[in-house]
Amino acid sequence: MRSNDSCTIPDRLLLATDLSARCDRALDRAALLASEWNAQLTLVHALEPDIYAFSGDLEPVPSWRRDATLRRPTAVKQIHQDLGSLDRDFDLIIEEGTASDVILQSVDDGRDLIVTGVARNETFGRMFFGGTVDRLARAAKAPVLVVKERARDPYKDIVVATDFSGESITAIGLTMGLFPDARVTLLHCYQAVRSGMMAPSEGVEIGRQLATGEYADFINAHSQSEPRLAQLPIFMEYGSVDSLIKAYAIDKKLDLVVLGSRGKNTIARMLLGSTAEATMASAPSDVLVVPIK
């Protein structure tokens, strides 16, 4: 990535495509961001033998689907047909292997941003979202953008989920650097303090008070390195990240959700546990996962 007027932007956008129709949304967003950032656009496609050999009625698999060298020209032809109207140059990376392996091997973590789409209604799409995107969110050393909505305009309303850890400031800073003109709001989800000696409502109130104190400490610790932090609006809410993100999207404007891939408490459990996939799948908006080193 490079710095331009204090904005950290990627040199290259890696668009991971399975050649399905739903990837058009990811393509549109990647092309829009590439133009906005003057970044290189590179399409990455994996030739997965298991996917191409799949036959629902168990008929013999044609020879051109068994041999990756024969499938490669077909994939190249389809990509150029699909992108015939794209008013932008692009590069191609087409390799045999699993989607996640091909993408991860193609990433230069110092200059790239990975863009993926979701195609849940197809056999490949279910695996691509449930397996590939989840693995990329955990393993990639570059930010991963999961595109769900049509890219009509630049991102304007962004929510960054934060756990107030020192590491989470990375996600906030990167968001403001990538999208300096967007409205950025912080969201912190706290839990109730549980004890057999107190009522549930009391435990929720104590959790809120603890979150308020953590937020004050967070601001004080990072006010010099990120002076804009204290000016960002924040919601501190009781509940889970995925449920609150869905409620926020219904009641307020929301174009993009940003999550850090490391941290403590809620965010760490979310991205290191089984709810990572559920949160990315259930969020109605696009999702950006930022790796925290």
Please check whether residue 235 lies inside any domain of the structure. Answer: yes
Judge whether 92 lies within some domain.
Answer: yes
In a shared domain, residues 201 and 272: yes
Examine the domain organization and report whether 242 and 285 are in the same domain: yes
Q: Which of 122, 146, 170 is the last residue of a domain?
A: 146
Residues 75, 129, single domain; the answer is yes
CATH of the domain at 232: 3.40.50.620
Question: What is the structure's pLDDT at 39?
Answer: 92
pLDDT profile of the chain (293 residues), mean per 10: 63 82 80 91 77 51 56 69 68 81 84 80 41 77 90 93 86 92 93 83 93 95 89 92 86 89 48 51 85 74
In a domain? residue 58: yes
Chosen domain end from 146, 178, 194:
146
Domain boundary among 91, 124, 146: 146
Predicted confidence at residue 106, as pLDDT, reads 87
Query: In this predicted structure, what is the pLDDT of residue 290?
Result: 87
The pLDDT value recorded for residue 99 is 80
Instruction: Quote the pLDDT of residue 269.
Output: 43
**What confidence score (pLDDT) does residue 260 get?**
79
Q: What is the pLDDT of residue 6?
A: 43
Pair 134, 14 in one domain? yes
pLDDT at 293: 65
The range of the structural domain enclosing residue 284 comes to 157-290
Same domain for 182 and 119?
no
Q: What is the per-residue pLDDT for 267? A: 47
Residue 176 shares a structural domain with residue 64: no
| Same domain as 98, residue 8 | yes
Q: Is residue 25 part of a domain?
A: yes
- The count of structural domains within the chain is 2
Same domain flag for 251 and 126: no
Residue whose entry in the numeric block shows the structure tokens 């010099």: 224
Nearest Cα to Cα of residue 287 among 255, 264, 240: 255
User: How far apart, in whole angstroms, are the C-alpha atoms of residue 148 and residue 162?
Assistant: 22
Shared domain for 176 and 130, answered yes or no, is no
- Residue 101 sits in the same domain as residue 189: no
Whether 151 maps to a domain, the answer reads: no
Q: Are residues 119 and 53 in the same domain?
A: yes
Q: What are phi and psi of 189, to 5 degrees?
A: -105, 120
Tell me what pLDDT residue 271 has.
44
